[in-house]
Structure 1
Amino acid sequence: MTTNNTMTTLSEVTNFLNDAGYTIDFNLKQSYLECMSTHLKIFPGEFIVDKHYRFEGESDPADEAIVFAISCPKHNLKGVLINGYGISSDSISDEMIKALDERKH
């Protein structure tokens, strides 16, 4: 996926991804991703992290976030997962941690 290197805000990245077809909002659960609109559960091995973007707050660690561009060929879905990282990150299974690593194509 090609990106514009001038994107510096969370909204710029999410708008870019939406324009690129990543239109589903995912919610992170301990051992799966949930498709917010349909409540479909997507488990590790069923999705691929195509790209991720990190945002670090200049002075407040609570401003740290990561945006994942995720595709799920099994369900023909592409979407976005936004999550905090560092101190504010969610507790997830080791399998989910491995699944959220960006894969190189």
Structure 2
Amino acid sequence: METTRQFHYGTVLEAITILREQGYGHDFTVYDGKLKADGRFFCPDELEITDVYRYEGDTDPADEAIVFALSAQCGLKGILVAGYGADTDGSGQLIAQLHYRYLRP
């Protein structure tokens, strides 16, 4: 079983860039109660969270985001960037249903 990484990237863009280099080449979006990537739809039980990076804005709550590295059972790997606070796109409910592959510290 994989364990959580012990580092944190300075910005959302840096996290996305490094995750892309690690093979997380697709972008996940929330669409109609499911997660969508590469033209396919995934239910929460088809995905695992393999990494999470949380960012808090210094002064603006709109700068708050969480970067999720996701792996699908079919082998597809991608990234979901979600805001936290107000759940306007329904991603919070979906994310709560995802399974973590790594052990939390």
**TM-score with structure 1 length normalisation?**
0.80
Structure 1 pair 90–24 and aligned structure 2 pair: CA distance change class (3 A): same
Q: CA deviation at 1:3?
A: 4.5
CA distance in 2 between counterparts of 1:93 and 1:14 reads: 20
Change (3 A) 1:8 1:15: same
Structure 2: tracts of 5 or more residues without a match: none
Query: For the residues of structure 2 that align with 1:30 and 1:85, how far apart are their CA atoms?
Result: 19
- Could you list the structure 1 runs, at least 4 aligned residues long, displaced by more than 2 angstroms after superposition: 1-6, 87-94, 97-105
1:31 Cα deviation after fit: 2.3
CA shift, 1:88, in A, is: 5.3
What is the aligned length? 101
| Percent identical | 37
Q: Name the CA distance, whole Å, in 1 between partners of 2:54 and 2:39.
A: 26
TM-score, structure 2 as length reference:
0.80
5+ long unaligned stretches in structure 1: none
Tell me which residue corresponds to 2:60: 60
